[in-house]
Structure 1
Amino acid sequence: MSAGYDAVAAAHAEVKAEIARTDTKTSLLLAFIGAVLAGVWTVAKDARLPLAALVVGGAGIVLLLVVVGLLLFAVRPNLGGRHGFPRWAAESADEIGEGLRVDTRCADIAGLSRLAVVKYTRLRRAIDLIGTAMVLLTAAGVIAIGGAA
């Protein structure tokens, strides 16, 4: 095998691994947000909170729900892709065999790299919004504690 072939194979594997890492991070963030929402609900459901705490905390909760949507879009399957499984699902056995005789990994690397950038962009936005939501929820907690004193 040539060095070029090895480089293409390594780049293809690296891009696929980056997408897998992004999906794993997204899953962990979704679990974290679920835990935060459950914790907030547990603490706040029976408490008599000042209006300011409700407004600020509500804004934090809404922001976390927006983050959930953003994260779900980050891991949404791309069934309209030109390469790989979705394409194969619409081809006959002969077409699949013929397609596998041609090395399409360079095109796959380009397409998967674009997909990885979109996923990372959404993940970064989600993390930024999580930080903002945490500030709002912390402020709501401080307001609630200050209102109770």
Structure 2
Amino acid sequence: MSAPDRTLTAAHAEVRAEIARTDSKTALLLAFVGAVLAGAWTLARDLPLNRPAVVTGGVGLVLLVGAAGLLLRSVRPNLGGPHPGGRHGFPLWATLPADEIPAALSSDLAADIAGLSRLAVAKFTHLRRAVDLTMTGGALLLLAALLTAGGAR
């Protein structure tokens, strides 16, 4: 294998590993957001809430639901593949007879790296926005708890 081939193969592996890391982080954050939503709903149901706490907590819950939506979008399967029209990748292989798969696999690795990189950036962007929404929503839920404990009217 030539040096450029090794470099392309290493870059391809790095992009695939970054996608896997992003998906792992997304799964952990989705579980956290779900637990916070369930806990907040359980607590809010049993507490006598004042109007400022209801408004603040409601906005916090909406932001957490938005974060969950971004996280789900980030891990949504892309059966079209990373390339426009789904020309490469798993969905294409599923439609080919066995003797045509080697030719499909010999396609341009650089194009695959570019497509996977765009997919990784999109996933990372969704994850980053979801983290921002989660932090803001959590802060609002904390403020709602303080408003409830303080008895603001």
Q: TM-score, normalised to structure 2's length?
A: 0.91
Task: Name stretches of at least 5 consecutive residues in structure 1 with no aligned partner.
Answer: none
Deviation at 1:108, TM superposition (A): 0.9
- Root-mean-square deviation (CA), in Å? 1.3
Equivalents in 2 of 1:104, 1:112: separation in Å?
Answer: 13
Q: 1:65-144, aligned counterparts within 5 Å?
A: 65-81=65-81, 82-100=87-105, 102-144=106-148
Equivalents in 2 of 1:140, 1:23: separation in Å?
31
Identity %: 62
**TM-score under structure 1 length normalisation:** 0.93
The structure whose RCO (Cα within 8 Å, separation 6+) is larger is: 1
The one-letter amino acid of 2:79's match is L
Residue by residue over 1:67-110, the C-alpha shift from the partner in whole angstroms, topping out at 9 and shown as x without a partner, is 1111100011111123210111122222213223x243211101
Query: Which SS does the other structure have where 1:79 is aligned?
Result: coil
Letter in 1 for 2:104: G
Kept in 1: contact 2:50–2:151 (CA 8 A): yes
Alignment of 1:2-41 (within 5 A): 2-41=2-41
In structure 2, the gaps of 5 or more residues are 82-86
Structure 2 letter corresponding to 1:91: L
Q: Which residue of 1 aligns with 2:43?
A: 43
Distance 1:24 1:83 in 2: 24
